A and B are shown apart, each in its own frame.
Chain A
């Protein structure tokens, strides 16, 4: 197959054109997250309103997306986030990215704003914009089905937004293959602001490895490691991510009721074990994935995929809801309406606290159920209202930060850089708290999954309560993850694979001259260019690289981690230093020179 290209789409002008891939950037940033961030950094004007036509939306494959490397089907969406005002960089699996690669492209760069709703249709090196007036208002499943019907081909892969993205919810996601989400930081709203409803792709190309023989050998060894590893070979395939519910709850670091507590007595009811006994009907994989952590589920009247661990927690424990059924229903709603489940759960949870403390008034609920912790009815109802931006739901759809600010109580928003925290209590797990605090895209667990050493003991067991050594671990995890996200592979492979293996795959697969060491340097470069982007957009490290006040001042009230507070402020100076940043969190000129960043 011919070399892949960049597709540049200008929605204002209604043009599509091809560009070659910048080889130098590939060497420096690999592809995916790294390459797209470099492009955004070079092209986006400082201070651009994320929801204006001047923002740039990038869909970015890694060089290994669409190849036979294990989990080689991932893509990223990179843009300026309407939630955080900083870099947005959301990863998704499924089959869409691989299809884009087969159609001949590594990146789609979307500029401008269409006058009327459109969708982009790409087939084997040809692209066109098509009218999407009839799709506007449809949910992601209806949209996908309608596009497949219109194109007369049910093998076409679709990434699209639902009503939440159309109506510019700052926590809207992009859904591909109906069930997979580029979830975080409001990337769906950027798509909506451009009047771009969907991107449909079909391709028939095949992947051409730089060194097929050597790649084969690397793959054989890598596959064996994945199969033999307890997590990737057994734990994830058997239970998916949901099995974490009981572990985190038993550790007493499973946030409950908007982080007011950290043990949920009824967590077992929405655990992975219970899911397997009740609503689980099957498993699913992303492209080329030997792990297959996806869960297929069904309710009486609906079926779908998920919920994943994060979602079980966000709608379950964090909203005080015990039972699976309403959680599954809220999860399906998010996938259909196009909302990020972590931010949606975090926002409902914050709204429940605002309501119970008397700040949201009963009159504001209209005919909706009271926003009380534990209310299954409220969970489902308000998820739908948020996804459709109706009534109070419209306010909630802007995320918990803006919601809580509007009531004069920002302290109830459990966010970093305005993005809701994932499912781990940083008071009881110190290292993951550091990742939440310094992550370039706001609170995020997949920028450096320190849960792996701190809870699971991979690659070695670290004490979750200790702060020593965590800065060093975080830096390595952050750099490695940045490289994996740029390759087109899934982060879950890192339970089994190390920097050596990724470097080999990129070398033999994509012809990039990398080894373990230079791969980590590349990750470091990517992390730093994200940081430079954020600083240019006004990031204030002193104010923004931290955790919500609750986690610094209100100890966990009960359970195994009783009395614990996050000590992230003690770890950050060391982290900055290890990164080669000054005490204010700004990369030093020497560090930038070392990485070849001006």
Chain B
């Protein structure tokens, strides 16, 4: 089981702060598993496209997935994925 935490409006859309999910050995398959679990709310509202929406910030163990292999980055059981909407500020 991989721990997944949600923030900002992603949290509002799916109505949960955190979950444990199995079935992902990569970020991509983890997102697919999340889509199956949360259905329309995750797939359409959060991901928006089947591939990946650029409007998300995904951190795997505190590293942006861009720097650890992107969507095909390997995911292990003890890993932690955090899902943020694209936000900003200063």
Listed in ascending order, the chain A residues whose CB lies under 8 Å from chain B are: 230-232, 234-236, 238-244, 246-247, 250-252, 271-273, 293, 308-310, 445-446, 449, 451-452, 455-458, 461, 463-465, 491-492, 495, 559-561
- Is B7 in contact with A247, judged by CB distance below 8 angstroms? yes
Contact of A241 among B54, B66, B90 (CB under 8 A): B90
Contact of B63 among A242, A446, A560 (CB under 8 A): A560
Contact of A247 among B9, B54, B57, B66 (CB under 8 A): B57
Q: Using A234-B9, A455-B64 as known contacts, list a sample of 7 further A-B pairs with CB atoms less than 8 Å apart, ordered by residue number in A.
A: A235-B8, A235-B88, A236-B89, A238-B9, A309-B90, A461-B64, A461-B66
- B11 at the binding interface (Cβ < 8 Å): yes
- B24 at the binding interface (Cβ < 8 Å): no
- Is A561 in contact with B7, judged by CB distance below 8 angstroms? no
Interface members, chain B 63-90 (any A CB < 8 Å)? 63-64, 66-67, 82, 84-90
Closest to A251 in B: B62
Task: Find chain B residues with CB under 8 A from A309 CB.
Answer: 89-90
Q: How far is the CA of A308 from the CA of B88 in the complex (A)?
A: 12
CB distance from B88 to the nearest CB of A (A): 4
- B55 at the binding interface (Cβ < 8 Å): yes
Contact of A251 among B59, B85, B87, B89 (CB under 8 A): B59
- Is A246 in contact with B89, judged by CB distance below 8 angstroms? no
- B61 at the binding interface (Cβ < 8 Å): yes
Q: How far is the CA of A232 from the CA of B88 in the complex (A)?
A: 8
- Using a Cβ cutoff of 8 Å, how many contacts connect chains A and B? 103
Q: A247-B7, A273-B7, A456-B57 are in contact. Are A236 and B88 (CB under 8 A)?
A: yes
Q: How far is the CA of A235 from the CA of B10 in the complex (A)?
A: 11
Chain B interface residue count, CB cutoff 8 Å, equals: 23
Question: Can you report 26 A-B residue pairs in the complex whose CB atoms are below 8 A from each other?
Answer: A231-B86, A232-B88, A234-B9, A235-B8, A235-B86, A238-B8, A239-B8, A239-B87, A240-B89, A241-B88, A241-B89, A242-B89, A243-B84, A244-B88, A247-B7, A247-B87, A250-B82, A273-B8, A293-B89, A309-B89, A310-B90, A452-B88, A457-B57, A492-B89, A495-B88, A560-B63
Q: Which 4 A-B pairs have the closest CB atoms?
A: A560-B62, A241-B89, A235-B87, A231-B88
Q: How far is the CA of A246 from the CA of B62 in the complex (A)?
A: 11
- Is B88 in contact with A246, judged by CB distance below 8 angstroms? no
CB distance from B54 to the nearest CB of A (A): 8
Task: Find chain B residues with CB under 8 A from A272 CB.
Answer: 8
- Is B8 in contact with A252, judged by CB distance below 8 angstroms? no
Q: How far is the CA of A456 from the CA of B5 in the complex (A)?
A: 17
Task: Find chain A residues with CB under 8 A from B64 CB.
Answer: 455, 457, 461, 463-464
Task: Find chain A residues with CB under 8 A from B9 CB.
Answer: 234, 238-239
Q: How far is the CA of A145 from the CA of B60 in the complex (A)?
A: 50
CB distance from A215 to the nearest CB of B (A): 26
- Is A243 in contact with B66, judged by CB distance below 8 angstroms? no
CB distance from A400 to the nearest CB of B (A): 21
Most buried by A among B8, B9, B11, B54: B8
Q: How far is the CA of A101 from the CA of B52 in the complex (A)?
A: 46
Task: Find chain B residues with CB under 8 A from A455 CB.
Answer: 57, 64
Interface members, chain B 17-69 (any A CB < 8 Å)? 54-55, 57, 59, 61-64, 66-67
- Is B85 in contact with A234, judged by CB distance below 8 angstroms? yes
Q: How far is the CA of A231 from the CA of B59 in the complex (A)?
A: 18
Task: Find chain B residues with CB under 8 A from A293 CB.
Answer: 89
Q: How far is the CA of A451 from the CA of B88 in the complex (A)?
A: 9
CB distance from B80 to the nearest CB of A (A): 8
- Is A446 in contact with B62, judged by CB distance below 8 angstroms? no
- Is A308 in contact with B89, judged by CB distance below 8 angstroms? yes
Q: How far is the CA of A441 from the CA of B82 in the complex (A)?
A: 35
Q: How far is the CA of A246 from the CA of B8 in the complex (A)?
A: 9
Q: How far is the CA of A7 from the CA of B44 in the complex (A)?
A: 56
Task: Find chain B residues with CB under 8 A from A445 CB.
Answer: 90
Q: How far is the CA of A271 from the CA of B89 in the complex (A)?
A: 13
- Is A492 in contact with B62, judged by CB distance below 8 angstroms? no
- Is A250 in contact with B59, judged by CB distance below 8 angstroms? yes
Closest to B67 in A: A463
- Is A230 in contact with B86, judged by CB distance below 8 angstroms? yes
Task: Find chain B residues with CB under 8 A from A463 CB.
Answer: 64, 66-67
CB distance from A490 to the nearest CB of B (A): 10
Task: Find chain B residues with CB under 8 A from A271 CB.
Answer: 7
Q: How far is the CA of A231 from the CA of B84 in the complex (A)?
A: 12
Task: Find chain B residues with CB under 8 A from A310 CB.
Answer: 90
Q: How far is the CA of A235 from the CA of B9 in the complex (A)?
A: 9
Q: How far is the CA of A463 from the CA of B68 in the complex (A)?
A: 10
